[in-house]
Amino acid sequence: MSTHQISLQLNGESHTREVESRLLLVHFIREELNLTGTHIGCDTTSCGACTVLMNGRPVKSCTVFAVQADGAQITTVEGLAQNGNLHPIQEGFMEKHGLQCGYCTPGMMMTSVALLKDNPSPTEEEIRWGISGNLCRCTGYVNIVKAVQYAASKMKGDSNG
Amino acid sequence: MIPGSFDYVRPKTLSEAVSLLGKNPEAKILAGGHSLIPMMRFRMATPPMLIDINQLSELAYIKEEGDWLRIGAMTREADVDRSDTVRKRYPLLADTARVIADPLVRNLATLGGNIAHADPANDHPATMLAYGAQVVATGPKGERTLEISDFFRGAFETALAPGEILTEIRIPRAQARSGGAYFKLERKVGDYATAAVAVQLALDGSGKVASAGIGLTNVGLTPIYAKAAAESLEGKKPNDGAIAEAARLASDAAEPVDDHRGSEEYKRHLVRTLTNRAVTQALKRAEANAGGAA
């Protein structure tokens, strides 16, 4: 067994911990930092429920070791709202009923935030392509696409205004 | 699921990585980790040590140099997909990078890992066979270059010697009047191919095929080079009949087995159909390609 000291920024806060090398990032976030918004769905790198941003890119945190995140900037769903205001993507999922059971929602939102940063005006096809690594078993994706479109237009409005 | 225990080391240079691997022959190289970590979670792999090469930014690049497009082994699939050079000049590679696993996986998965893992279901191996690519291996004695046609020895087995790390992939530099395409059938995004076909063609001044390469994904224990199919196109201006003949020969070269993705017969039929489509698309792209820089 080997343990390592790691330091990372999570949602803007610094954390330093001693971790076993085999600890997965998703377990570190949920069990060491007690942030349970990041979900574990399939445990097989398929479903995307555990998606977080690592240095700005969405990744499946069940397929990264915590020790690999040493020095990284991580954003989880808890980091989306700012000063008590929901992020436009959170508002979108609420306004457009983009969730039913809600299990996939944090992952969907993290992927969508990165998608909109790269491409502020995605077509429906680009949205569907962009979230194709995140599985939802309830909605049929229709309202998820609408939620992302809502966020896209809200974020453009904000930056214009 | 939790992987077994292992030691973890994170070298800062390639030579340090090579030296660590030399001293720890049972260690595995951790690149994108998107094949290795799932195998470790299932305990199908229990390496005593991981040598994490994610800090080696010297292995992440895409550049045209001399006769080659040189791609560092740690280049992420997402960066291959986003590269202007690849999108404009290497359509076969662009097609391939875009259908590997899913967008989240592509943010970490690497081109070198996809090849070095040598899973016959992986996509780049067939594409590299179609291109006639080379791979560069770096070991204790320095670098050596291997032809991709000699690289895949069996399922999950390569010509890399103990202590060697795959460090670069070289694709012949794109020429005017050349083009390629990758056609893959998958049951859903993120699944491995039921079958997939990679085609790369170069035309001469009269529109005849000067050279052709055809690779097949996940229809055998290794990626398969469909030699007879590729040669059947050379020296011809392929019409529908010639394309159908190449497709039939590619289907003959496949060695599929019945599994949950389909029967042997179905997969052979699929290889024929996908080869037909990929050759047609590659021809169209080659004819439209006047050359020019990215």
Domain ranges of chain B: 7-46, 60-172, 180-285
Report the residue from B33, B50, B189 with minimal CB separation from A133.
B189
Q: Are A30 and A38 in contact (CB under 8 A)?
A: yes
Residue A18: other Cβ atoms inside 10 A: 9
Render pLDDT for B84-106 as a digit per residue (tens, 0 to 9): 999 999 999 999 999 999 999 99
Please tell me the predicted confidence (pLDDT) of residue B48. Answer: 97
User: What is the spatial distance between Cα B200 and Cα B96, in angstroms, rounded to a whole number?
Assistant: 12
Q: Which two tokens stand for residue B273?
A: 């159909």
Q: Which two tokens stand for residue B41?
A: 């979670």
What mean pLDDT do residues B185-189 have? 95
Q: What is the DSSP letter of A87?
A: P
Write out residues 124-183 of B within 8 Å (CB-CB) of A.
Answer: none
Assess whether pLDDT exceeds 50 at residue B186.
yes
A-chain residues near B104 (CB < 8 A):
48, 51, 58-60, 111, 133-134
What mean pLDDT do residues B62-71 have? 98
Q: How confident is the model at residue A159 (pLDDT cuts 50, 70, 90)?
A: low
Task: For A88-160, give the CATH class.
Answer: mainly alpha
What's the one-letter identity of residue A122? Answer: P
Tokens 């690779």 correspond to B215
Secondary structure, 3-state, B262-280:
ECHHHHHHHHHHHHHHHHH
User: What is the spatial distance between Cα B178 and Cα B258, in angstroms, rounded to a whole number?
Assistant: 35
Nearest CA in chain A to B98: A129
Q: Are A46 and B190 in contact (CB under 8 A)?
A: yes
Nearest chain A CA: its distance from B123 CA (Å):
17
Domain ranges of chain A: 3-79, 88-160
How far does Cα B104 stand from its chain's mean position? 19
Closest CA to A64 of B36, B194, B62, B260: B36
B-chain residues near A51 (CB < 8 A):
104
What mean pLDDT do residues B223-252 have? 97
Render pLDDT for A106-150 as a digit per residue (tens, 0 to 9): 999 999 999 999 999 999 999 999 999 999 999 999 999 999 999
Q: Are B195 and B185 in contact (CB under 8 A)?
A: yes
Question: What percentage of chain B exceeds 70 in pLDDT?
Answer: 99
B6 contacts A22? CB cut-off 8 A: yes
- Beta carbons within 8 Å of B90's beta carbon, 6+ residues apart: B69, B171, B174, B180
Please tell me the predicted confidence (pLDDT) of residue A1. Answer: 65
What mean pLDDT do residues A73-86 have? 97
User: Is domain B180-285 classified as CATH 3.40.50.300?
Assistant: no
What's the one-letter identity of residue A14? Answer: S
Render pLDDT for B30-61 as a digit per residue (tens, 0 to 9): 999 999 999 999 999 999 999 999 999 999 99
Q: How confident is the model at residue A161 (pLDDT cuts 50, 70, 90)?
A: very low
Nearest chain A CA: its distance from B22 CA (Å):
20
Q: What is the DSSP letter of A74?
A: E
Report the residue from A68, A70, A130 with minimal CB separation from B103.
A130
Q: Mean pLDDT in chain B? A: 97
Q: Fold for domain A3-79? A: Ubiquitin-like (UB roll) (3.10.20)
The beta-strand segments (E) located in B223-289 are: 224-225
Nearest CA in chain A to B8: A21
Return the CATH number of B60-172, one of 3.30.465.10, 3.20.20.10, 3.30.70.360, 2.30.40.10: 3.30.465.10
What mean pLDDT do residues B21-32 have? 97
Nearest 5°: phi and psi at A149? -65, -40
* pTM score above 0.90: yes
Q: How far apart are the first and last CA of chain A?
A: 54
Please tell me the predicted confidence (pLDDT) of residue B292. Answer: 66
Q: What is the DSSP letter of A30?
A: I
Beta-bridge mates of residue B213 = B200
User: What is the spatial distance between Cα B69 and Cα B257, in angstroms, rounded to a whole number?
Assistant: 35
ipTM of the predicted assembly exceeds 0.90:
yes
